[in-house]
Amino acid sequence: MPDTVWVSSVMGDYTIGNRQGIREKFYGGDWAPPTFRLGVEPDHVVVAHRRHTRGETLERTDFPEAMYVFAENNWKRVGDLFCAGPFYAVKGRLAEVLKDFDLGKGGLIEFPIYAADKTTRLPGPFYLLNFGAIKDSFVPGESRRLHPERTVEQNGYELWAAYDIEDGDIALTAAAFEGADLWLERKLQRTLFISGRLHDAIIAAKVKVKFRSVRARIVD
Could you tell me the strand order of the sheet in which 192-195 lies?
134-135, 182-185, 192-195, 5-8, 213-215
Q: Given pLDDT bands bounded at 50, 70 and 90, which one contains residue 149? A: confident
Half-sphere exposure of 198 (CA within 13 A, CB side): 26
Segment 169-185 mean pLDDT: 97
2-43 pLDDT, tens digit per residue, is 579 999 999 999 899 999 999 999 999 999 999 998 877 889
How large is the average pLDDT for residues 110-118? 98
pTM to 2 decimal places = 0.93
**CA terminus-to-terminus distance, the chain:** 19
Q: Taken in order 20, 30, 122, 103, is the CA torsion positive or negative?
A: positive
Rounded mean pLDDT, 171-199? 96
Share the mean pLDDT of the chain: 94
Beta strands at 171-172 and 217-218: parallel, antiparallel or unpaired: parallel
SS3 content of the chain, % helix, strand, coil (to 5): 20, 30, 45
Give me the pLDDT at residue 220, please. Answer: 80
Between CA 107 and CA 57 the distance in angstroms is 9
Q: Quick one: pLDDT at residue 1?
A: 46
pLDDT at 153: 56
Phi, psi of 17 (to 5 degrees): 95, -5
- Cβ within 8 Å of residue 104, ≥6 positions away: 57, 131, 132, 133, 179, 180, 182, 183
